[in-house]
Each structure stands twice: as structure tokens, then as C-alpha cells.
Amino acid sequence: MADNRPTPSPGAGSARESAPASTHIDEAVAHSHDHAYSPSGEHGGHSHDHSHAGASTKRLGWALTVTGAIVVAELVGAFWSGSLSLAADAGHMVVDASGLVIALIAARLMRRPRDEKHTWGWARSEVLAATLQAGMLLIICAIVAWEGAWRLLSPPEVEAGPMLLVGIIGLASNVVSLAILAGGRDANLNMKAAFLEVANDALGSVAVIVAAGAEWAFGWTRADAIASLLIAALMAPRALTLLRRSVAILMEQAPANVDVTELRAHMLDVDGVLDVHDLHVAAVSSHLVTVTAHVTVSEHADGPSRDRIVHQLGECACHHFPIAHSTFQLECAQHASHEHIEH
């Protein structure tokens, strides 16, 4: 086995392993600059990400404390007043509280280093957490919408005073939680899910307050049912968007911000590259995008030429696209007939 190692670029590493010369196959691995999360801890981006994960954990912990207090207040208020919209908001808050617990667990898991069994670390835990939260929100939406529709047809009597008081307390508490989570909402998909859930809670509290006001001022008995349906309508689109994004990552769909056709064109522009096939772009997490490809080069290309190609492909991936990790297999045209590729 011959072992040729190209000089890595600053902030990046690359390694290359050559098969026996008779096969004319060269497998090369190129790691781009780590502008995003790197699970290996080998680059500067890892410690930076750990600091973000630590901050996210603290934010989630405080938000969970505030949310738990609101849940208790709204459940008591719903039992006292008989309000469905308040009960719906309390149910929504229960889901949010459990969602924040999931998010908190995921934030801690993301800080764990990779090992031989978990070669990407626990980066994907944030996506799983977001998927669970989205699923729970959709279930609550369906329950609230069903009950709200029945109450719209046959509205029960509701005490507006306690409903209004608890709605105001809930809104104030939600604003506090939003302030806690606002600084970290763009850290990852997990934090974004948590922020969206609390934002939905705030909108739900506004709906409760408006319904209580209408009930108290005008005696409009259907206001509570309409408010509960509005809460469900506010939750559903955001939950579906979050679920769609999470499932796209789990299904290893190419991220929206990476045009695979354009990436292929960039790779083909590298001097010495004859063809690019079996090109895969996927995200391990919301901030860790990877690319793998089989790259055809001339069978006469020597070691230094292949090293240059690997380096330029890696630089192209990280500088022109938000790709944090790249793996390229260099091979000659004759190797295509020996490949056994399912897709």
C-alpha cells in the first residue's frame, strides 16, 4: 500500500489511501474548513460549538422552569373557569414542557464526543428531538380542534374572570421564556423548535385573553371555542414546517441551501476531473452538511496530481457551499465496471 499525504490547508485536514497500482483506484478523503459543528473535536469549531451547547442547555433549563409554573397556573385556571381555550393552552404548555425536556436532553447529548460506535457523535439528537416535538404539537392540535368544534356547536358556560387573570399571567410568563430563548434560537434546529413552541404559547395566551374579554364584555359564549380553534390553527403550520425540516434531514435529503447540480458543475471545473458520479449530499444535523462522491480522473494522473485534485475539491465544497465534511473517492474510468452501487 502506498501512502501519500497532501499538505493540509489551514484549519482543514486531508488523508489519502491508495489501493494497489494494478487497480488504478485511489480513495481520498478531504475535510473542508470547519465553519460549523465538527463532531470529532479535531478542529477549532468543536470547542466553539460546545460553548453554544452549554449556553443552550442553560437557556432551556430556565425556560423549562418558567413553562412548568405556567402549566400549573393554567390547569388550575381551566378547572376553575371551565374554559376550553385555557385548557387547550395548558395542554399545549404540557407538550411544550415535555418538548423542552426533550430539547434539554438533546442539548446535553450533542455535547458528547464521538466514539467508534457513534462516529458522528450525537449530533443528530437535535433532529430527533425536533421531530418528537413537532409530532406532539400536531396531536394536541387535532385534539383541541375536535373539542373546539363540538363546543362551537354547543357552547358551555365559562367564567371569564379567572380565565382572563390566568391568560394575563401566562402571557407575561411566555414573554419571559421568549426573552430567555431568543439569543439562542438560531443555534440549531432543536433550539429553534423550543423557541417556536414558546412563541406559540404566547399567541395562545393572547387568544385566551381576547376570548375572556369577549365573554366578559359581551356575553359571547362561543368566544372560548373560537379561541381554542385559533390556538390549534396557530400551532399546526409551525409544527408541520418543523416536522418537514426534521424528516428531510432524517431522510438524508440534500439541504435546501446546497444546489447539487451546481456543486457537480463546480467539481467538474477542477482541472483533472473527468466525471463525477455517485454524488451524495446530506445533513447529519442542522449545521453539519456532508458530501461524498466518486470522482473519475485519468489513469495516468500521478500522486501529486491526485493530491491537488483532492485539495481543490475540498476547498470548493467548503468555500462555495455550506459543507463541513467531504469525502471523495478518486478512480480511473475503467473502475466503473467494477462498482456495485445500489442507487
pLDDT in tens, 54-109: 566 777 777 777 777 777 777 777 777 777 667 766 766 676 677 667 767 766 77
Calculate the dihedral angle through the C-alpha atoms of 203, 207, 208, 211, rounding to the nearest 10 degrees: 170
- Taking residues 317-340, what's their average pLDDT? 83
Residue 187 burial (10 A CB sphere; 0-12, 13-18, 19+) = buried
| Placement of cell 404566547 in the chain | 202
Q: Show me where the domains of the chain are located.
A: 57-251, 260-337
- Taking residues 10-30, what's their average pLDDT? 37
Among the four given CATH numbers 3.40.50.720, 1.20.1510.10, 1.20.120.140, 2.60.120.260, the one describing domain 57-251: 1.20.1510.10
* pLDDT at 154 > cutoff 60: yes
Among the four given CATH numbers 3.30.70.1350, 3.90.25.10, 1.10.490.10, 1.10.238.10, the one describing domain 260-337: 3.30.70.1350
State if pTM tops 0.75: no
Which amino acid, one-letter code, is at 145? Answer: A
